[in-house]
Copies of this chain bind each other. A is one copy, B any other.
Amino acid sequence: MAKNNKQKIEEILTRGVEKLIKKKSLLKKLKSGRRLKIKYGVDPTTKDLHLGHAVIYEKLRQFQQLGHKIIFVIGDFTGRFGDPTQKLKVRKLRSKQEVREMAKNYLRQVGKILDLKKLEARHNSEWFDKMSAEDLLRLMGHFTTLRMLERDTFQERIKKRREIRLHEPVYPVLQAYDSVVLKTDIEIGGSDQLFNCLRGRDLQKDFSQFPQDILTVKILIGTDGKKKMSQSFGNYIGIEEKLEIQYGKIMSIPDKLIIDYFELVTRVPLIEVKNSKKDLKQGKVNPRDLKAKLAREIVSIYHGKKAALRAEKEFQRVFKEKKLPTKIPEIKIKEKSLNILDLLVKIKLASSKSEAKRLILQKGVKIDGKLQDNWQKIIKIKNGTIVQVGKRKFIKIV
């Protein structure tokens, strides 16, 4: 164990950290030289991971690099019911098979950040599938109903008169029991997991175990600069997104997020991040250049360094030097001429004629580099005509 690696321990306990429970105990454990069991549990019901998820995995990676054991709990049992966190609606119940499929896909993506070979992946169906109704009832007896309903998501539902199904307050009990089975030293989670992680401490004490410590990470704000990054808000950057799209999305975030992104989803040393923050504040660095560095750092993680440099060049070609991308999708068209609206719909740059018209009026359509402002225009179609919508969508007609 990197027992004496004071600086790395310090970074683990501060970088991207929202809350530590209990800090003293955490420090003691980390300095003990013991290989710690770091638990992170997930209901693999998300199809595509994005940078919002990566915050946790980067934190786990830091522990992994200090030699600690990451126990990745795949909630293939709990995932059938779903954690009611932040959901105002009752979750639908899923089949075991459905959740297993989702888990495979999930783990493959996690492999982009963590070393899967050093990670212990456990399915909680391992202990819950053989648990009887009686054992579950006895386990539930460790907690009180009102305590469970104190959880903010339930309080919100009660206020809004939305229903809480009877099985839903059991979720934290199951997550807590995972910690008992695994004898977890530290549980890592998002801030919305704090309540559940605390129940793990309670239950471990009831089972005469030393209670786990808890580290929750900060929330990553999405590309809109406003809300938490989430697929449902459309403000996400997927970790498996195509090179150019990923690069472009990062370049589109508001400047105020740059430093947070450096801290939460890159591996640039914290000291460097702090320096960049200072430079930015004092105007010593152009935000655009810093963002380009950020994009290169993040894209390198998911697509490799070479690809990141390629994406950077391409981005500069198209956006800075206003040149055409090197690769443009091609579409064949029989007609010799077409009304511009029909053309845009035909090559799928607009979903309807009315959208096509709107795009033209908003000055978002170019043909062979020339801005189009007449939506009634008839376009003569030549081989090699390039139609552009917005900054990033190009089609070559062949």
Q: With an 8 A cutoff between CB atoms, is A334 at the interface?
A: no
Which of B133, B138, B164, B173 sits near A146, CB closer than 8 Å?
Answer: B164
Q: Which residues in B have their C-beta under 8 angstroms from that of A234?
A: none
Whether the Cβ atoms of B80 and A134 lie closer than 8 Å is yes
Interface residues of A in 116-171 (CB under 8 A from B): 128-129, 131-138, 140-146, 148-149, 158, 163-170
Which of B143, B158, B166, B168 sits near A170, CB closer than 8 Å?
Answer: B166
Which of B80, B145, B166 sits near A165, CB closer than 8 Å?
Answer: B145
Interface residues of A in 307-353 (CB under 8 A from B): none
A168 → B minimal CB distance (Å) = 7
Which of B141, B144, B165 sits near A140, CB closer than 8 Å?
Answer: B165
Known contacts A145-B149, A149-B145: A134-B77 contact under CB 8 Å: yes
A165 → B minimal CB distance (Å) = 5
Q: With an 8 A cutoff between CB atoms, is A93 at the interface?
A: yes
Q: Which residues in B have their C-beta under 8 angstroms from that of A93?
A: 138, 141
Q: With an 8 A cutoff between CB atoms, is A261 at the interface?
A: no
Which of B77, B132, B166 sits near A129, CB closer than 8 Å?
Answer: B132
Whether the Cβ atoms of A132 and B132 lie closer than 8 Å is yes
Task: For the A-B complex with A132-B132, A144-B163 known, give 9 more contacts whose Cβ atoms are closer than 8 Å.
Answer: A93-B138, A93-B141, A131-B132, A131-B133, A133-B133, A137-B167, A145-B145, A145-B164, A145-B169
Considering residues A93, A129, A135, A165, which has the most beta carbons from chain B within 10 angstroms of its beta carbon?
A165
Q: Which residues in B have their C-beta under 8 angstroms from that of A158?
A: 146
Whether the Cβ atoms of B132 and A144 lie closer than 8 Å is no
Whether the Cβ atoms of B128 and A133 lie closer than 8 Å is yes
Q: Which residues in B have their C-beta under 8 angstroms from that of A137?
A: 81, 136, 167, 170
Query: A163 vs B150: C-alpha distance in the bound complex, in angstroms?
Result: 13
Q: Which residues in B have their C-beta under 8 angstroms from that of A167?
A: 137-138, 140-141
Whether the Cβ atoms of A136 and B133 lie closer than 8 Å is yes
Query: A77 vs B134: C-alpha distance in the bound complex, in angstroms?
Result: 8
Closest B residue by C-beta to A158: B146
Query: A128 vs B138: C-alpha distance in the bound complex, in angstroms?
Result: 14
Q: Which residues in B have their C-beta under 8 angstroms from that of A148?
A: 166
Whether the Cβ atoms of B146 and A163 lie closer than 8 Å is yes
Whether the Cβ atoms of A134 and B141 lie closer than 8 Å is no
A374 → B minimal CB distance (Å) = 59
Whether the Cβ atoms of B140 and A170 lie closer than 8 Å is yes
